[in-house]
Structure 1
Amino acid sequence: MRWTLPNILSILRLVAAPFFPAIYVLWEGALAGGIALAVFVGASATDWVDGYVARRWNQTSRFGAMVDPIADKAMVLIALLVVVAQFGLAPVMTLAAGVIVFREVFVSGLREFLGAQAGQLKVTKLAKWKTTVQMVAISVLIGHGLVAQPAVELLGTALLVLAAALTLVTGADYFAKAWPYLREEGQP
């Protein structure tokens, strides 16, 4: 592994993910919400920055290609867990979060299974939009604790449902691309 800025940012995001729930254990109320929102928005921003810098400064690496999506998924999935818990397992949020978790695990499993052919599952523009909508939805729902307005909760829930819908579409796309490699013959 090379110690490039993109790799460092991805590692910091990966390390921050399991500590995200601890924010709510260490602090309470608006303070916890403010810190959590800052951490999540910061992590979301580094997701964009590390990719941009890696491409712009020609600092792409196999390590970065591996750790970046893991860090993204870890932060999003752990934050989803916290948000769903905060809203008392609200049915719509819980269902949307379940769809997102399933797709992320499923696509990761497909990539693992495909091994050398995993390049067939390149990230699409729609998948990038899916990630953006997920991050905005989670940010809005975390921010709800700071303003406690029903409209903010409704907006965050609507965005999370949209993210789940995009998650289903991109998951189906990845499955369709992987299908030829999943057949018994293993050949496309």
Structure 2
Amino acid sequence: MRINLPTWLTLFRVMLLPVMVIVFYLPFRGHNLTAAVVFLLAGFTDWLDGYLARRLNQTSAFGAFLDPVADKLMVAVTLFLLVESHRSSTDGPLGNWSGILMAVTAAIIVGREISVSALREWMAQIGEHGKVKVAFIGKVKTLAQIIALVVLLLQHDAETLRLYHIGEALLVVAGVLTIWSGLGYLRAAWPSLRDDRRAREDT
């Protein structure tokens, strides 16, 4: 199998994961800014590999598989880092409630990604993958999610947490949009899901 340029960029995005984790925990000044830059670089490669794949007509089955996996890994790992860091850096009842809210929101986002991925895989198996295409609300959700994660990475170790709370609010908005878009996928796939004949064939 020959790996083309867009797929190399996707692989590079995956390799940025351990870099971001290490930088996030290293005790040097500006580590939060560096972690945010690594995350933004990963986001840029996500746009660039798709652009190059279309521009150069260099699509591949491996690249189509790896691209969404890399995206979901980057978001999930970043959420885990932030939830763990938030839990250990907040004091008092308000801090506890804030940490619970972030943990629940992260669980919703990760759970939705797993569920939608499983739904798409099943729909592809029965030849109806086209029914679960990415909707506009999903793109809005992704944008809110990226902005929230960048703000939270920048502010997670800052002396003042004013922007951090903005990031928390944006993450909650992304969580609500996550549920909304997930219900849209479910609604599109529901006629196939309730088909008892297919259920018997799959068992």
- Relative to the length of structure 2, the TM-score reads 0.83
User: What is the match of residue 32 of structure 1?
Assistant: 31
Distance 1:178 1:58, change over 3 A: same
User: What is the match of residue 7 of structure 2?
Assistant: 7
1:119 aligns with 2:124: no
Whichever residue aligns with residue 142 of structure 1, its letter is L
- Whether the aligned pair in 2 keeps the contact of 1:34 and 1:143 (CA below 8 Å) is yes
Structure 2 distance, partners of 1:57, 1:125, is: 25
Q: Aligned runs of 1:64-79 on 2, under 5 Å?
A: 64-79=63-78
Structure 1 distance, partners of 2:197, 2:17, is: 39
Larger mean Cα displacement after TM superposition, 153-162 or 123-132: 123-132
User: What is the match of residue 186 of structure 1?
Assistant: 198
User: What is the match of residue 90 of structure 2?
Assistant: none
User: What is the match of residue 132 of structure 1?
Assistant: 143
Distance 1:61 1:125, change over 3 A: farther
CA RMSD of aligned residues (A): 2.0
- Whether the aligned pair in 2 keeps the contact of 1:17 and 1:71 (CA below 8 Å) is no
Larger mean Cα displacement after TM superposition, 91-100 or 30-39: 30-39
Whichever residue aligns with residue 12 of structure 1, its letter is F
Displacement, 1:2?
4.0
What count of residue pairs does the alignment treat as equivalent?
A: 186
Structure 2 distance, partners of 1:117, 1:18, is: 36
Distance 1:155 1:11, change over 3 A: same
Structure 2 distance, partners of 1:16, 1:35, is: 12
Instruction: Report % sequence identity.
Output: 39
- Whether the aligned pair in 1 keeps the contact of 2:116 and 2:182 (CA below 8 Å) is yes
- Whether the aligned pair in 1 keeps the contact of 2:86 and 2:156 (CA below 8 Å) is no
Whichever residue aligns with residue 59 of structure 1, its letter is Q
- Relative to the length of structure 1, the TM-score reads 0.89
Structure 2 stretches lacking a partner, 5+ long: 88-95
Structure 1 distance, partners of 2:14, 2:47, is: 14
Structure 1 stretches lacking a partner, 5+ long: none
The structure number with the bigger radius of gyration is 2
Displacement, 1:147?
4.2
Larger mean Cα displacement after TM superposition, 112-121 or 2-11: 112-121
Displacement, 1:62?
2.2
User: What is the match of residue 170 of structure 2?
Assistant: 159
Q: Secondary structure at the match of 2:128?
A: helix
Structure 2 distance, partners of 1:71, 1:97, is: 17
Distance 1:186 1:51, change over 3 A: same
